[in-house]
Structure 1
Amino acid sequence: MSSLTPRIRAACRSFQGYQARRLAERTLAAMEDALLKDIGISRSEISLVVRGLRHGHEDKTG
């Protein structure tokens, strides 16, 4: 049973990350194109930006 606990925690963290990414995608998708342009992304890049996979742009958070 003790080996199951870390797996459950990892699954919970993974699910929480998924939920956060989905919320970010929905939030960005609800924005107007002009606002997305102001923050430097296009509608077609939303999924990539949320997952941190957009090429040619460095992460400005760290």
Structure 2
Amino acid sequence: MSRMRTAYRSFRNYRIHRMAERTLAAMDDALLKDIGISRSEIGLVVRGLQRGQEDKAGEP
């Protein structure tokens, strides 16, 4: 049962992150600037990383 729960949580988190990425990507550049991020930082923001940090794979 634990594997099913883990798989479900993983899938749910993926869907939440994709929805957040799509929502931010749909915003215009001026609105993104107002909230303090650039278009190139959307993926980092969604994953919760700040500028200059690296994820587990070693990629910024």
Bin the TM-score by the shorter chain. 0.7 to 0.9
1:8 aligns to 2:4 (yes or no): yes
| TM-score, normalised with respect to structure 2 | 0.82
The residue aligned with 1:47 is 43
How far apart in 1 are the matches of 2:12 and 2:36?
26
Identity of aligned residues (%): 71
How far apart in 2 are the matches of 1:20 and 1:14?
10
Return structure 1 stretches of 4+ with deviation > 6 angstroms.
none
Within 5 Å, which residues of 2 pair with 1:16-31? 16-31=12-27
Larger Rg: 1
How far apart in 2 are the matches of 1:51 and 1:35?
20
Note the residue ranges of structure 1 that are not aligned, 5 or more in a row. Answer: 57-62
Across the two proteins, how many residue pairs are aligned to each other? 52
Deviation, 1:33, is 0.3
Deviation, 1:54, is 1.9
Note the residue ranges of structure 2 that are not aligned, 5 or more in a row. Answer: 53-60
| TM-score, normalised with respect to structure 1 | 0.80
